[in-house]
Amino acid sequence: MHTAQRIIRNYRRKRLSVCISLAVAALFLTLSVRFISERNLYERQITDFSQRAILSIEALLAPLEKVGEDLAPLVGHTCTEAHLPLREQAARLQIVRAIALIDNGVLYCSSIFGARGVMLNQLQPGLPSPVQQLLLSTDQVLLKGTPVLIRWLPTSLNGQSGVMQIINIELITSLAITPDHPLIRRVLFNVGPNHLEYGSDVRPPPEGERESRQVFPSSRYPFSVTVIGPTPEYLAWRDLPGQLPLALILSLLIGYMAWLATAGRMSFSWEINLGLAAREFEVFCQPLLSARTQQCVGVEILLRWNNPRQGWISPDVFIPLAEQQNLIAPLTRYVMTETVHQLHYFPADSAFHIGINVAASHFHRGAILDDVRRIWLSAHPHQQLILELTERDALPDVDHRMVRELHRYGVKLAIDDFGTGQSALSYLEKLHPDVLKIDKSFTAAIGTDAVNSTVTDIIIALGQRLNIELVAEGVETEAQAAHLKQHGVTFLQGYLYAKPMPLREFPQWLAGRTHPPARHNGQAIPVLPVQ
């Protein structure tokens, strides 16, 4: 077992390491967030640039669709009839270098040269074609060797006739795919197997092993844009040293705040909260027997804590510390919730009562009423709930109106460890308890000449005079049990009948009335004082 002093000393030794860990974590987290933020920013900038380039090229190509459809009926007409409309359309479109009509594979009319008679496949291999195409090629007629974009629109089923539009791709590259240094070093315009880079000729795709390459396709036309440059991760790493001063300042501030926050908290509140979150607490029960019939009529719910960092911690340690740190109410809620989840271990009988310890502070502003409604009553239990109010709390703080409301819910109130705390007879009048639990120190004094033995008889007489049920705790001998029964004590509780046990072992005890040792994970544990 660990004492409160040892726990506090361990906490103090860990204080500095916790503060340093928080500072280092804040430094790492700040740099990580800044790295991710910068990387995402660069990724968005690259994507935005590529989408703008694609939208610009699509906007330039869009008018060509209407022109091609308007000129398609001219295919098959003489060049004398078609030449003027070809020239007019070419003049209207700034990006078009020339428009040509092809009939049965022969380019017979051009907006620039007029009538011609050249096989199309000699000028552009792959044309004519039965499907629409967008080709990136070089000019073989007007400005030989310069890059051009060819749009082919077939007008016959066999694809041997159609309209060919030759587009000045250099204008497109200057408007849409100019690199944005240093984020984007190179931009490629891709059509089929060929690629065009700003300021270069049509060529196969370049090899850039050390640079990031991202391809963004058009959703309307068969082309894509490739951007080449440093990876977003590289750019983010490059900028990260500039974020270091701010991250250091923030981490030092976090460490200092943690130091201040822990300076006055040399308690075990952090461990208790962590134990609640990790479900390290285990609910035990100790049976109560009828003094007259020797039958089990209820249980008192107890709390045990196997802390993986400190080992088994006595309730005599963590209960007072929890009260000091205002954590007794969360512990009580935990006990009530765990008990509700394991009610199937107990007889489904309204005469069977389940006692749960509560603190007077839990009654503040009706908190206990809310918890009873939300946790206990919502489960619709068959068993009788008894709230055991310990006397070391300031009992006058308990509003008697709360007690009346609890009675309205069918919940009984007991005063635990009666006679050992700050009790006064006026408490009994104000609170109207249903049960008085005689502290085990008085039970142990039965049959001796100690003053406590006389006090025990007085408490019993007082309970009988006020018509309050009596429970004697700490019954360990038959002589004690006989004395208590003879003097009219209603219920008995103690090692004579059963030690505290996990709830799952209660059905076996109830069936065989054996005394199983309290165990946890296969290992016997010391039985702790009732809390």
- HEC string of 172-201? HHHHHCCCCCCCCCEEEEEECCEEEECCCC
DSSP state of 493: -
Q: At what angle do helices 169-176 and 4-71 cross, to 10 degrees?
A: 150
Instruction: Sort strands 162-168 and 147-154 into parallel, antiparallel or unpaired.
Output: antiparallel
Q: For position 259, what pLDDT does the model report?
A: 75
| Confidence at residue 263, expressed as pLDDT on a 0 to 100 scale | 62
Residue segments in the chain with a per-residue pLDDT below the cut of 70 = 1-12, 142-143, 199-210, 262-268, 391-399, 421-427, 449-452, 513-531
Report angle CA 284, 288, 292 to the nearest 5 degrees: 165
CA distances to 278, 310, 497 from 501, in Å:
21, 22, 12
Cα 94 to Cα 96: distance, rounded to the nearest angstrom:
6
| Predicted pLDDT of residue 285 | 95
- Residue 122 is predicted with a pLDDT of 86
Q: d(Cα 99, Cα 89) in Å, to the nearest integer? A: 8
Superfamily of domain 279-513: EAL domain (3.20.20.450)
Q: What is the pLDDT of residue 423?
A: 54
Residue with tokens 């309307």: 220
- In one-letter notation, the amino acid at residue 143 is L
pLDDT for 7 equals 64
The answer for residues whose C-beta is within 8 angstroms of residue 437's C-beta and 6 or more apart is 388, 414, 415, 416, 417, 418, 470, 471, 472, 473
Q: Do the Cβ atoms of 500 and 285 come closer than 8 Å?
A: yes
Give me the pLDDT at residue 528, please: 36
Give bridge partners of residue 135 from the DSSP assignment: 150
Counting every residue, how long is the chain?
Answer: 531
